[in-house]
Amino acid sequence: MNLALILDFLRALAANNNKAWMDQHRADYHQARAEYTAFIAQLLRDASADLEPGLRGLSPSEVMFRINKNDRFQQSDEPYKRHMGAGIKPGGRHSPQAGYFIALQPDGETYVGAGRWMPEPQQLAGIRQEIHYNGAAFHAIRQHPELVHHFPHGLDQSQALKTAPKGYDKTDPDIEWLRLKSFFVWRSFSDADVRRPDFPARVLEAWQAAKPFVQFLNEAMTGE
């Protein structure tokens, strides 16, 4: 697979993000997507063997996101995303479970992540309840050296309530975490990192470090 080719295509797309340019470079897009598909296929094979058996049988097309923007979430008039991304979890990219994520984007914007971004209200209630009842386990996972090593910024706190959620006291010792609306860790990679031969292995290492966190979320959301 040629990840550098993907970055080169996406860099050109970012500078010419319009349908006319894409139509003229459709062959280049298909070549870049083929390389990305091969990359995701390798990650699926490795992850289903060592990380999550529930991924077995999934095809790249079931976990890869479209490059076309979803009109409901557009924040600009650009018709295409500037990255190629995938949600690696049992059931595919739209599964309600917590899982693992990868997006390739040039100029140091590639990221690897894990968790559940903006869970449904019932799921969010389950996560908050588990943190409230079992805070020691949550903090042990959140502060585990392996997770901190691979995701040094910790949980993304950009999505949070300004006050305590309903049913919780604002003086609760875990209020900082109970206020969160997303439970997600991520880290970026430079273009040089992406071009390294061991980049797929580094992605798997990061996901492996996040596995206890993902399991905690899934158990909390299902009540199991």
Per residue in 132-165, pLDDT tens? 999 999 999 999 999 999 999 999 999 999 999 9
Q: How many CA atoms lie within 13 A of 64 on its CB side?
A: 22
pLDDT per residue as tens digits for the range 22-36: 999 999 999 999 999
Beta bridge partners of 80: 68
Residue 173 has pLDDT above 60, yes or no: yes
Mean pLDDT for the chain overall? 95
Domains held by the chain: number: 1
So what's the pLDDT on residue 160? 96
In this predicted structure, what is the pLDDT of residue 72? 52
Going from the C-alpha of 169 to that of each of 118, 119, 124, 158, the distances in angstroms are: 22, 22, 17, 21
Question: Cβ(183)–Cβ(115) under 8 Å?
Answer: yes
CATH number of the domain to which 74 belongs? 3.30.930
Helix or strand holding residue 21 (H, E) = helix 19-24
Q: Which domain holds residue 20?
A: 3-222
What pLDDT is attached to residue 192? 98
For residue 158, the SS3 value is coil
pLDDT at 74: 52
Structure token digits, residue 139 = 């903090």
User: How many other β-carbons are positioned within 10 Å of the β-carbon of residue 102?
Assistant: 26
pLDDT value of residue 71: 58
pLDDT at residue number 198: 97
196 pLDDT band, cuts 50/70/90, is very high
Pairing label, strands 110-116, 183-189? antiparallel
Give yes or no for residue 70 having a pLDDT over 80. Answer: no
Kindly compute the dihedral angle of the four CA atoms of residues 35, 38, 43, 46, in this order, to the nearest 10 degrees: -150
Instruction: Show Cβ contacts of residue 180 under 8 Å, excluding neighbours closer than 6 positions.
Output: 155, 157, 159, 160, 161
83 phi and psi angles, rounded to 5 deg: -140, 165
Give the model's pLDDT for residue 224: 66
